[in-house]
Structure 1
Amino acid sequence: MSPRSSSLRGGAGTADQVAVRRHNLAVVLEHLRLHGSRSRARVAAETGLNKATVSSLVSELLGRGLVTEGAVERGGVGRPGLVIDLDGSTYAAIGAEVNIDYLSVIVSNLRGDVVAEQRVPFDTAASDPRDALQRLAGLVRDALATAGPAAPVGLTVAVPGIVESATGRLVKAVNLGWRDTPVVDLLVELLGGPGYPVVLDNEANLAALAEIEARGGAAGRDLLLLTGGVGVGGGIVADGHLLRGARGFAGEIGHLQVDRDGLDCGCGRRGCWETVAGLGALLRRAADEGDPVRDPNVDLLGRLAEVRRRAEAGDQRTLAAIDATATWLVSGAASLVNVFNPDVVVLGGYFAVLSRWYVPRLQQGLAEQVHAPDAGGCRVEVSTLGFAAAMRGAAHQAALAVLEDPVALPFLDATDESTGVPT
Structure 2
Amino acid sequence: MFEDRRLYDGAAGRQTPADQATVRRSNLGLVLRHLRDAGPRSRARIAQDTGLNKATVSSLVAELADRRLVTTGDVDRAGSVGRPGLTVHLDGRGVCGIGVELNVDYIAILVLDLRGEVLVERRVPLDVHDLGAEATLDEVARLVGKGQAAAAERGAVPVGVTVAVPGLVRSADGVATYAPNIGWHDVPVLDGLRARVDFDGAIRVENDANLSAIAEWAMGPEARTPDLVYLTGEVGVGGGLIVDGRLLRGAGGLSGEVGHTALGDPELVCGCGRRGCWETVVGLTALLRAAADPDDPVHDPNRDLETRLAEIAARADAGDRRTLDALQQVGTELGSGAAVLINVFNPQVVLLGGYFAVLGRFLTEPMAAELRARVFGPDLAGARIVLSTLGFTAAVRGGAHVALESVFDDPTLVPATGGDGASPAIGS
TM-score between the two structures when normalised by the length of structure 1: 0.91
CA distance in 2, matches of 1:285, 1:161: 25
CA distance in 1, matches of 2:221, 2:32: 16
Flag the 1:83–1:219 CA change in 2: closer, same or farther, 3 A. closer
Compare 279-288 and 352-361 and name the one that shifted more.
Answer: 352-361
1:69 aligns with 2:72: yes
Q: Which residue number corresponds to residue 3 of structure 2? A: none
Q: What SS class does the counterpart of residue 181 from structure 2 fall into?
A: coil
CA distance in 1, matches of 2:86, 2:222: 28
CA distance in 2, matches of 1:322, 1:310: 11
Deviation of the 1:130 alpha carbon = 1.6
Residue type of the alignment partner of 1:337: I
Residue type of the alignment partner of 1:372: G
Equivalent of residue 314 in structure 2, options 309, 320, 328: 309
Q: What SS class does the counterpart of residue 139 from structure 1 fall into?
A: helix
1:362 touches 1:380 (CA, 8 Å); kept in 2?
Answer: no
2:264 touches 2:279 (CA, 8 Å); kept in 1?
Answer: no
CA distance in 1, matches of 2:369, 2:265: 25
What do the CA deviations read for 1:36-81 (whole angstroms, capped 9, x no partner)?
2222122112222211010011112122232223343344513232
Equivalent of residue 170 in structure 2, options 164, 172, 177: 164
Q: What SS class does the counterpart of residue 99 from structure 2 fall into?
A: strand
CA distance in 1, matches of 2:413, 2:246: 24
1:58 aligns with 2:61: yes
Q: Which residue number corresponds to residue 286 of structure 2? A: 281
Aligned length: 402
5 Å-filtered alignment, 1:144-163, equals 144-147=148-151, 148-163=154-169
Q: Which residue number corresponds to residue 364 of structure 1? A: 369
Q: Which residue number corresponds to residue 183 of structure 1? A: 189
How many percent identity over aligned positions?
53
Flag the 1:45–1:89 CA change in 2: closer, same or farther, 3 A. same
Residue type of the alignment partner of 1:203: D
What do the CA deviations read for 1:103-157 (whole angstroms, capped 9, x no partner)?
1101110111111112111111111212112111211222222222211100000
CA distance in 2, matches of 1:18, 1:199: 26
1:408 aligns with 2:417: no
RMSD after superposition: 1.8
Q: What SS class does the counterpart of residue 190 from structure 1 fall into?
A: coil
2:213 touches 2:242 (CA, 8 Å); kept in 1?
Answer: yes
2:265 touches 2:280 (CA, 8 Å); kept in 1?
Answer: no
Q: Which residue number corresponds to residue 227 of structure 1? A: 232
1:69 touches 1:82 (CA, 8 Å); kept in 2?
Answer: yes
Equivalent of residue 108 in structure 2, options 104, 107, 110: 104
CA distance in 1, matches of 2:37, 2:264: 44
1:90 touches 1:150 (CA, 8 Å); kept in 2?
Answer: yes
Equivalent of residue 304 in structure 2, options 296, 299, 304: 299
CA distance in 2, matches of 1:203, 1:405: 25
Greater helix proportion: 1
TM-score between the two structures when normalised by the length of structure 2: 0.90
Compare 167-176 and 57-66 and name the one that shifted more.
Answer: 57-66
Equivalent of residue 383 in structure 2, options 347, 371, 378: 378
Equivalent of residue 212 in structure 1, options 217, 232, 243: 217
Q: Which residue number corresponds to residue 331 of structure 2? A: 326
1:363 touches 1:379 (CA, 8 Å); kept in 2?
Answer: no
Q: What SS class does the counterpart of residue 309 from structure 1 fall into?
A: helix
Deviation of the 1:217 alpha carbon = 7.3
Residue type of the alignment partner of 2:334: L
1:94 aligns with 2:90: no
Q: Which residue number corresponds to residue 25 of structure 2? A: 22
1:116 aligns with 2:120: yes
Equivalent of residue 34 in structure 1, options 27, 34, 37: 37
Q: Which residue number corresponds to residue 393 of structure 1? A: 398
Q: Which residue number corresponds to residue 261 of structure 1? A: 266
What do the CA deviations read for 1:140-183 (whole angstroms, capped 9, x no partner)?
22222222221110000001010011101110100000111111
Residue type of the alignment partner of 2:62: S
Larger Rg: 1
1:116 touches 1:144 (CA, 8 Å); kept in 2?
Answer: no
Flag the 1:215–1:97 CA change in 2: closer, same or farther, 3 A. closer
